[in-house]
Structure 1
Amino acid sequence: MRFSVFTASTPEWTPEEAAPAIAAQGWDGIEWRITDQDEADEPGYWAGNRATWPLTGLEEAVPEILRITREAGLDFSAIGGYAQASDHDDVERLLAATAALGAGQVRVTLPHVPVADYRATFAAARADLEWAVERAAAHGVKVLVELHHGTIVSSASAAYRLVEGLDPERIGVIHDVGNQVIEGFEDLGTAFQILGEYLAHVHVKNAVWWPNGQQGPDSQIMWEHNWSSLRDGQVDIDWLFRALVSIGYDGWVTLEDFTDVSTPRDERLLDSLQFLHGSYQRALMWAEWVAAETAQADQLEAAQSEDADTEA
C-alpha cells in the first residue's frame, strides 16, 4: 500500500509548503483539495485553506500543480474534487485536469440528505454517473464517489447499488471508515466484499461520539460526534488494515486529519504516518500467521485423509 495526505488536512500551509513537508516525512503521495472556498480570517479546513487550489482558473493552474507535486517527489493518490455529479460542466473540468496531471482518479460529490424524494434523487445521481463514466473513459481516468455521512451513499451497500453495472475501470468507490463512525458503518470485511471491484481508494480518519451534557425529552442523553486522532477514535484501525490485506488491496490510503488540537501540524502528520505504517505491518504479520495456520490445518487434514484411505 501507499500512503498520502489530503490537503484539506493542511490548511496552514501553502501548496509550496505542503508538498515538500509531506514528502520529507516519507509520505508517498498527495491528494490536492480543489474547490472554490469561502475566505476566512484564519486558515481552516473548509474555509481559507491555503493548501486548496481554486476550481476557478484550474486549467491555468495545472502546470503549477504538476510542478510542485513532482519537484517534491510525490505522486497523486487522487484529486479531491467537490463538484456535484450533477454539475456536468465542473465535472468535465475536473476530469480534464486529472488527465492533464496524470493523477488517474478524481472525486465527485453526491446529494446530501434529507431529500424530498430519495429514490428519485438516487436515480438522477445514477444518470449523472453514467454520463461521468463516459467522460472519464474519454479522458482515460476514473471518477470516484465517497462513502460519506449525510449523503445518499453513506454505506458500502448504498454505494454498490449506485455504481453496480458501470465500468469499474472508470468508476470506483472511496471507502472512508471515519465517516462511517457517524453513519453507514458495516462490518469491514463484509463492506469490502460488497464493493468488490469498485473499491478504488481508501480514506482513513477516526471519530468519536460522546454525551454532550444536554438532555432531551424525559432526560434522554444527547450525543455528539467529532473527529479524533487515529489512536483515539472508535474504529480499530488494525481491523481496517487486516480487512484490506485479506482482500489483497494494494492501492492508496489517504489520511484525513480534521482534529482540533494544539499539536503542531507536522508532528500530527508524522505521528499518523508512523501509526499507519505500524498498523499495516501488523496486518501483514497477521496475514502470514493466518496463512501458516491454514497451511498447517490443510496438511493435517490431508494426512488424516491419507491414513483413512490406508486403513480402508
Structure 2
Amino acid sequence: MKFSVFTASTPDWTPAQAITALAGQGWDGIEWRLLDQQPSSTGEPGFWAGNLATLPLAGIEGEVAGIAALTRDAGLEMSGVAGYARADERDDVERVLRATAALGAPQARVAMPRSDTAEAYPALFERTREDVAWAASLAASLGIKALVELHHETITPSASAARRLLEGLDPEHVGVIHDLGNLVIEGRERHTAAFELLGDYLAHVHVKNARWVTDGERTPAGSLRWRHEWAPLRDGQADVGQYLTDLREHGYDGWVTLEDFSTDLPSRSAPATTSPT
C-alpha cells in the first residue's frame, strides 16, 4: 500500500507548503481538494471554507502545470483528486476529470447526491446510475478512473449500495472509495465482507475516525440524542489498525489517504517554502 494525505485536512498550508511538508514527512503522495470554496466566516483557514490547500475549480486549467511540476519535483505522487462536483453536474464533473488527467493523477471523486432530497430514492438512484455511467465513459477516454465514495447521507453510504450503483460498469474506469470514518456514521458492513463484495470496484481508501457523543439532551419522546463528530485516528470508534490489517489480508495494495478533521490537537504550523503558491 501507498499512503497520501488529503489536503482538506491541511487547511493552514498553501499548496506549496503542503507539498513541502508532506514530502519532508515521508508520505508517498498527496490528494488534492478541488472546488470553488466559500471564504471562512471567521477569516481563519478551515477544513471546509477558506482552506488554503484547496485548488479552485474556476481557472484550474491554468494551474495544473504548475501544481503538477511542484508535486513531481518534491518526489510526491498524486493519489487522486477529491472533486465536489455532483454526478448530475456534468459540466463541472467534466472539468474535474479533465483537470485530473492533466495533473497526471489516476482518479477523481465524483460526488453523489444526498439521500434526503424530495425526489424518490429509486428514481434518484437510477438517474445517478446514468450520470455515473457517463462519467465512467469520459474517464475511460482520458485514461483515468471516476470514483464514488462511501459517504453518509448520500445514496451510497455502504458498499452494498455502491456495488448496486456500479454494477455492469467497467471497473477499469469507475470504482469505489472505501471510507472508514464515514462508515462509523452510516453504512458500516463487516469490512472484509465489504471488500469482497466490491471486488474490482474497490479502487481507493480514505482513513479518518469518528465517534458518537451526547450532551444528555432528549427528544420529545424521551430518547437520548446523539451526534457524530470527527476524532483523532486512535480515539474514534473505528479500529484503524485492524482496518489496515483487514485491507492487507484482503490483498489491497492501492492508495490509503489520510483525512483527519478532528480538532483535538493543535493546528499544524506552516512549513517554510520558497514558492509563493
Flag the structure with larger Rg.
1
Specify the alignment match of 2:73 in structure 1.
71
1:247: how far off?
A: 1.6
TM-score by length of 2: 0.94
Is residue 135 of structure 1 aligned with residue 138 of structure 2?
A: yes
For 1:232 and 1:219, the matched residues in 2 are separated by 29
Residue 251 of structure 1: aligned partner: 254
Counterparts of 1:48 and 1:240, CA distance in 2: 32
* Residue 85 of structure 1 pairs with residue 74 of structure 2: no
Q: Give the Cα separation in 1 of the matches to 2:60 and 2:221.
A: 53
Partner of 2:7 in structure 1? 7
Pick the aligned partner of 2:238 from 235, 238, 258: 235
Aligned to 2:194: 191
Shift of 1:218: 4.4
Q: Percent identity?
A: 57
What is the CA-CA distance between 1:219 and the residue it aligns to?
Answer: 3.3
Q: Which runs of 4+ in 1 moved over 3 A?
A: none
CA RMSD of aligned residues (A): 1.3
Partner of 1:158: 161
SS at match of 2:192: helix
Give the secondary structure class of the aligned counterpart of 1:214: coil
**In 1, are the aligned partners of 2:158 and 2:187 still within 8 Å (CA)?**
yes
Q: Distance in 2 between matches of 1:162 and 1:254?
A: 23
The whole-number CA distance in structure 2 between the counterparts of 1:123 and 1:211 is 37
1:204 paired with 2:207, answer: yes
Q: Hey, what's the Cα distance between the residues in 1 that align with 2:231 and 2:65?
A: 35
- 1:170-224 per-residue CA deviation (whole Å, 9 max, x = no partner) reads 0000000100100001000111011110000000000000222211234321111
Residue 126 of structure 2 is aligned to residue 123 of structure 1 = yes
Gaps of 5+ in 1: 268-312
Q: How many residues align?
A: 267
Question: Which stretch has the larger CA shift, 70-79 or 198-207?
Answer: 70-79
Secondary structure, counterpart of 2:204 in structure 1: strand
1:266 CA displacement: 6.2
Q: Distance in 2 between matches of 1:172 and 1:52?
A: 23
Q: Identify the match of residue 172 of structure 1 among 170, 175, 191.
A: 175
For 1:251 and 1:89, locate their aligned partners in 2 and report how far apart those are by CA, in whole Å: 29
- The answer as to whether partners of 2:86 and 2:113 remain within 8 angstroms in 1 is yes
Distance in 2, Cα, partners of 1:266 & 1:168: 40
* Amino acid paired to 1:39: P
TM-score with structure 1 length normalisation?
0.83
Give the corresponding residue for 2:61: 59
Unaligned runs of 5+ in 2: 271-277
Contact kept? 1:212, 1:224, Cα under 8 Å: no
Q: Comparing both chains, which one has the higher relative contact order based on Cα–Cα distances under 8 Å and sequence gaps of 6 or more? A: 2
Query: For residues 36 and 266 of structure 2, what CA distance do their matches in structure 1 show?
Result: 28
